[in-house]
Chains A and B, each alone.
Chain A
């Protein structure tokens, strides 16, 4: 071969090598430079869901992971504190009449870019949210007008009385009006929350740095890294390997093991996520409440839930978890297979019954196992249930089309208030599971409109009772919010909704 060929080939190989080195240089997932040039690495906290989008009014607006990110970056007018609305950007509010709310804003608030937050920002943000077509739309359907009479006052008028306004406002994040609509704003958005965005790779990693001028006091941490680790086993490994400092949710089968690992701690709190099993009350055979109750009596929920979840879940005594505002405990359906058979026979199904149950695997921990234990218990009372484990998109399609008999899902009471679940899902107008009750409709409408929180609580209690007694569904288990953290993490409070606060967290050692 000619010598020139020789050189060409060597050059080629050299180039290939150089290319490889270049690519290696861009190894992903780095935490970048430490804010302030310090040596401390940011606290690393891995939730089990991906943060996709930092637009708090967009398509991911009620994703738990998006809410987690939004709570660090942005502020809301009010927050929730154990069922009560607590001041945040609004320091006080009053109701001149039942359709009007007036909020007085905090005055010392600045966005991360240094600009001052005023009522114009609040007005623009709320109007953007009310006009959005995303999943928060139903919460804002009855807003009539939002006005900013002066720089520190916001007035919201509603078309009808809205007792849930304060609760809903705890999901309404405030953005700087001047930057809304700017191209690429949500790649590195600006908010007024305790942490500012340093860099963001959707569904991979969000890197935050402390906002030293935060009105509630600067965070103790210099930075916060929120990586997404899709594989549970890897997520557990990364906690043990000190790659992450906190991770949640811990699956039920890992809790006991992690407790035994040196240098780790496990914390849990009753959560707002729960399993529910609806019956399609609009079609046979579940149009008959007798059949629905029979299926409930056929399940030994106590032992099923205890053996599958241990301390990670508790059997529910209402259609919403105990941690939710408006929960009222009901009498459990006793485990009684004979009674179940008797009820089925009375309903004309003495020869047995064939039906189907659908769910998608990732709806919650051990969903398939839970579904299978139901199906085998039902088989013992003569009810043959065909298992339909399908993909999430197919499940949603069939669910909304009411094309199913029984379905299993994990539901989230995103606001922590019964209205979010009961008020939206169980009305005859919503028609989510074919159930229609004029009495329940009236109670829920009343509960939504009254601003008197005690009265709301009593009304949701009534709603819980109606739904429970009519056995619209079976509510097997409320899931605990379970966190694993390194012992070096101080000041961490487990949050029921999976959206912990990091402002007060610090690390030692």
Chain B
């Protein structure tokens, strides 16, 4: 176990270093730099030179990179020129809203996905099963920005029963969380349905039924629990997806999370914030992956972590 965690930590550090390096290079390859965006279209070459020197942008790239790595080790991503504060602080301020959105999207996905999947499996090949499959396919196919705008038009502009932007109430979480969750409800539902149907064909089900357990008990106590193993591990990865890919939903619903921050920071070449956001997202992903691996072994003790 200790060996496993040690190896994973080493891997994680390597992954974070890789992410930082890729982001650093990608940002510098893009045309335009912060000095040009701060001074805007009215800048003179002298002012640009002065500001570049002040921001440390006139050093050779390798020097900037090594300095950047050194800073990151001390958790210092530098000052954000657009947010007027340390980039990491600016990111952490926005992480809360993104996490609460992700958690609620997860709640929607799990509740609706399990309900629809279980129901479809219990009534396999019935008209309702087919209806659920078709609906889930449509839900996965529709682009989230379109769903978001439609939901906002219907429930906020038309019916006026839900807020369209973050206003601090639980109600304002509903539309964005549902929009984020929708494509994955169908995905999870199908996963659950397939899992259940596969489990139902296992020998232990026949054994349990043979020893006189009712269908209901067999289903809820044995089958459903065993279906959980693959599903729960997928959910960990889904959580990472919700954190990293909430961008579009955040923009549509004016949700003050890291997604909107990231988009803005990229277009204004706010290097420090882009680097801080992506590093934080990378760390979230790595932590979730690690949790998933641990959970996997925990839910199914037959799986040995050392060999994972």
**Which residue numbers of A lie inside 8 Å of B, CB to CB?**
1, 9, 19-20, 23-24, 26-32, 50, 52-55, 58-60, 62, 133-135, 137-138, 184, 186-187, 201-205, 227-231, 233-238, 240-244, 391-394, 396-400, 409, 411, 424-425, 430, 432
Which residues between 18 and 53 of chain B lie within 8 Å of chain A, taking CB atoms?
Answer: 30-33, 36-45, 47-48, 50-51
The answer for the CA separation of A132 and B103 in the assembled complex, in Å, is 43
Give 10 new A-B contacts, CB below 8 A, not counting A52-B83, A230-B251.
A27-B168, A29-B256, A133-B47, A133-B51, A134-B38, A201-B93, A202-B90, A237-B152, A243-B167, A396-B41
Main secondary structure of the interface of B (DSSP, over half): helix
Residues of chain A within 8 A (CB-CB) of B96 are: 23, 26, 28
Q: Which residue of B lies closest to A407 (CB)?
A: B41
Contact in complex: A62, B40 (CB < 8 Å):
yes
Residues of A within 8 A of B97 (CB): 26-29
Whether A28 and B251, one on each chain, are in contact in the complex, defined by CB atoms closer than 8 angstroms, is no
Cβ contact within 8 Å between B82 and A59:
yes
Q: Are B164 and A29 in contact (CB under 8 A)?
A: no
Residues of the B chain whose Cβ atoms lie less than 8 Å from the Cβ of A31: 167-168
Which chain A positions have C-beta within 8 A of B287? none
Q: A202's contact among B84, B169, B170, by CB below 8 Å, is which?
A: B84
Partner of B256, one of A1, A137, A205, A233: A205
Are B156 and A138 neighbours in the complex by a CB distance under 8 Å? no
Q: Is B165 an interface residue (CB 8 A)?
A: yes
Residues of B participating in the A interface, judged by any CB pair closer than 8 Å: 30-33, 36-45, 47-48, 50-51, 54, 81-85, 90, 93-94, 96-97, 99-100, 103-104, 106-107, 149, 152-153, 156-157, 160, 163-170, 172-173, 251-257, 260-261, 264, 267-269, 298-299, 301
Cβ A393 vs Cβ B40 within 8 A? no
Question: Once the chains bind, are B168 and A400 in contact (CB under 8 Å)?
Answer: no
Q: How far is the CB of B179 from chain A (nearest CB, A)?
A: 12
**Quick one: which of B50, B54, B157 has the most chain A CB within 10 A?**
B157
Cβ-defined partner of A23 (8 Å) among B37, B48, B103: B103
16 sample A-B contacts, Cβ–Cβ < 8 Å, listed by A number: A20-B107, A27-B100, A27-B170, A28-B255, A30-B168, A53-B82, A203-B82, A229-B254, A230-B251, A237-B152, A237-B153, A238-B164, A243-B164, A391-B31, A393-B267, A400-B36
User: A20-B103, A20-B104, A396-B37 given as contacts; is B156 within 8 A of A187 (CB)?
Assistant: no
Question: Across the interface, do B32 and A135 meet the contact criterion of CB distance under 8 Å?
Answer: no
Partner of A135, one of B42, B166, B260: B42
User: Closest approach, in angstroms, between the C-beta of A204 and any C-beta of chain B?
Assistant: 3
The distance in angstroms between the C-alpha atoms of A184 and B260, with both chains bound, is 23
